[in-house]
Every structure is written in structure tokens, then in C-alpha cells.
Chain A
Amino acid sequence: QLQLQESGPGLVKPSETLSLTCTVSGGSIRSRSDYWGWIRQPPGKGLEWIGSIYYSGDTYYNPSLKSRVTISVDTSKSQFSLKLSSLTAADTAVYYCARQGGLFGPPDYWGQGTLVTVSS
């Protein structure tokens, strides 16, 4: 059974950069059919797609966040990572990593999510 697990700091200061890692187990991050993405959810609010990556390193970002987002992959560790810079309180959210069965397929496996709070 495919599993994804997010890790990273739960508290980050304004203007700093958030760094999260998603570890994939029970399946291969090098799967040719799969893409890997990040989605966030502010407390009590809806879902926002941040970006996605293929094992080759091809990336796709939400235009609304593109200037601040970097997603990378480390296939040797079965991990992909998110960096989000210039943080404000509006970036406080639960951050989920997820698998997409194809570039144009819905996320079907999700991590449990990690709450990141932006506060001084």
C-alpha cells in the first residue's frame, strides 16, 4: 500500500522560507505513470494546489504561487520537497503531499498532512 509522509517544521517566522519533505513508501517514486504534488488547506478553509513534480524533475506550479515555490525530487531517497519563500500569516495551513495517477489525474493517495504556522 502506497504511503506518503510529510515532515518539516511546524512553526516558521514571517519572511522566512518553509521547507517540507514528503517520503514515499510502498511504491516507487520513479513510476512512469505518477506525478507527485503539494496541496495546502488553511485552517477551516478549502484546498489549494501548490504544484507537482515528475520523477525526472519536470515541475508544474500554481501561477498564483509560482514566484515563491520550488519543488524538487530526490529519487535515491524516495522523497520530494517543497520550498515556499517570503512567508506571511496567509501561508499558515495544513500542507499535504499527494500522488497523482498521471499529470491530468486526480490526487488519489494523500499524506496525513502537516500544520505549518507562520508567526513570529
Chain B
Amino acid sequence: DIVMTQSPDSLAVSLGERATINCKSSQSVLYSSNGKNYLAWYQQKPGQPPKLLISWASTRESGVPDRFTGSGSETDFTLTISSLQAEDVAVYYCQQYYDTLPLYTFGQGTKLEIK
């Protein structure tokens, strides 16, 4: 299985400041034949299902504010929120979908709060 490890486990950032969450995979999730990284980021608020923010490591889903940016390749990835808003308080998960079985593994989650 590909193990996904996020850092930090929790993060407190002031409103308007930058938040950075890291995700490391135990093996590369870059598929060489198409040059795509099979890595997604989700946001989960209390009592809600996860919401897909970013797929293919850096492709923002429709309707996701442009303050959310995904970057990285192979084994090291970052989710950056450029200017934290109150509504961004949530747990964020990275997920790989490169592997065959299991199809998906998730990071342990990073809890983002307001400082």
C-alpha cells in the first residue's frame, strides 16, 4: 500500500495569513506515461462529507476559490491557502489514487484552525 503522511497534524493561522499543509507519499504517484500526479486534496467540515478541492495535484475543482493551490510532484505535495478565511476552518486530507489495490489511501488529516 502507498502510505500518505501529512504534516503538521494541526495548524493555527491568523485570518488573512497563508496556510501550508504538506503531504508525502511512500512511493511516487507520478504516472510517467501521462505525466500526471494521482494526488487529490479534500476539505472536510464537521458533520459533512469530504469535498474535493484539487485533483491531479494542482487542478482546482470548479467553484473552488483560487486562494487554494496545490503543488508538488512524485512524492512531495503541498496545499496552500493564500489568505485564510474563517470558512476555511476544516480538516484537510490528501489522497493518492495511483495504486491498484487499494485504489485509494488517505493521509491522516490536518486540522486547520484560526489563531
Contacts and interface: CB of A to CB of B under 8 A. Distances in A.
A79 interface: no
A70 interface: no
B97 interface: yes
B102 A107 contact: no
Interface in B77-108: 93, 95, 97-98, 101-108
A52 interface: yes
A8 B4 CA distance: 31
Interface string A3-40: 00000000000000000000000000000000001010
A113 to B, nearest CB: 5
A35 to B, nearest CB: 9
A104 B98 contact: yes
Interface in A39-94: 39, 46-49, 52, 60-64
A108 B61 contact: yes
Interface residues of B, number: 22
A33 B49 CA distance: 23
Given A47-B93, A96-B49, A113-B49, A106 B40 contact: yes
Contact of B102 (A62, A104, A108, A110): A62
A60 B103 contact: yes
Contact of B106 (A48, A98, A111): A48
B55 interface: yes
A48 to B, nearest CB: 7
A50 to B, nearest CB: 9
B13 interface: no
Contacts of A47: 50, 93, 95, 106
User: Which of B61, B95, B107 has the most C-beta atoms of chain A within 10 angstroms of its own C-beta?
Assistant: B95
A106 B101 contact: no
Interface of A: 37, 39, 46-49, 52, 60-64, 96, 98, 100, 103-108, 110-113
Interface of B: 38, 40, 48-52, 55, 61, 93, 95, 97-98, 101-109
Given A52-B103, A105-B55, A106-B104, 5 more contacts: A61-B101, A103-B103, A108-B52, A110-B50, A111-B49
